[in-house]
Chains A and B, each alone.
Chain A
């Protein structure tokens, strides 16, 4: 009974390729997030959706495009991958958008761009 799941777990690809990461939560939460954790382990928010609406959009290259087909799913598409995109990408969800809501993280997708 995985609460927040992501696929794939590992992704190795060449520079210039386009790839997608998928996330699903079965917690009934309204809000979902994408985070990037770089090699220094610094966890930084990229995007957030609430009920399929984009509410947080950090300063991220427009090669990154999130999509939320419904409130249980949030995907991340990355165009023209670059070496600097290598990182672990975590999906998370929370019940609502309130700052007091706990966020629950998925297992992460380890992306390596060669």
Chain B
């Protein structure tokens, strides 16, 4: 089966850096996605990692270690608008683009 774990909630201060972790178990690996979801809105794509290492995209970076079944999303220079849920997801190993989502990490950014 497949399993994804991420912390339920995190808080951080405006201007700071926060790291949101995700661990996964899957029988086959086809990459890992991070999505952002503001309250009452749709999930929006942030990043996709399929190779080990860090991928940087502006203030947001995503890291993957396939051997450890581990990923993190790094948010720098936090802004109030970054308050949202961050969803880690992996494609189901059985085929097709069936995404298995973690429960999401709700991030609250305070002034």
* Residues of chain A whose beta carbon lies under 8 Å from any beta carbon of chain B: 4, 31, 33, 40-45, 48, 50, 55-56, 90, 94, 96-108
Residues in chain B within 8 A of chain A (CB atoms): 30-31, 33, 37, 41-45, 48, 50, 85, 87, 91-92, 95-101, 103-104, 106
Q: Which residues of B contact A31 (CB under 8 A)?
A: 97
Q: Is the CB of B43 within 8 A of A101?
A: no
Residue in A41, A94, A107 whose beta carbon sits within 8 Å of that of B97 in the complex: A94
Residues in chain A near residue B85, CB distance under 8 A = 41
CB distance from B82 to the nearest CB of A (A): 17
C-alpha gap A50/B48 in the complex (Å): 22
Task: Provide a sorted-by-A list of 11 A–B residue pairs whose CB atoms are within 8 angstroms.
Answer: A31-B97, A41-B103, A41-B104, A41-B106, A43-B43, A44-B101, A45-B99, A90-B43, A94-B97, A99-B97, A108-B41
Residues of A within 8 A of B99 (CB): 45, 103
Whether A48 contacts B101 by the Cβ 8 Å rule is no
Which chain A positions have C-beta within 8 A of B103?
A: 40-42
Are B48 and A100 neighbours in the complex by a CB distance under 8 Å?
Answer: yes
Contact, CB under 8 Å: B42 / A105: yes
**Closest Cβ–Cβ distance, residue A29 to chain B (whole Å):** 11
Measured in the bound complex, the distance between the Cα atoms of B42 and A15 in whole Å is: 26
Interchain CB contact under 8 A, B96 and A97: yes
Q: Which among A33, A50, A90 is the interface contact of B42 at CB below 8 angstroms?
A: A90
- Chain B residue with minimal CB distance to A95? B97
Kindly list chain B residues whose C-beta atoms are within 8 Å of the C-beta of A106. Answer: 42
| Contact residues in B for A43 (Cβ distance below 8 Å) | 43, 87, 101, 104
Question: Contact at A48–B42, with CB atoms within 8 Å?
Answer: no
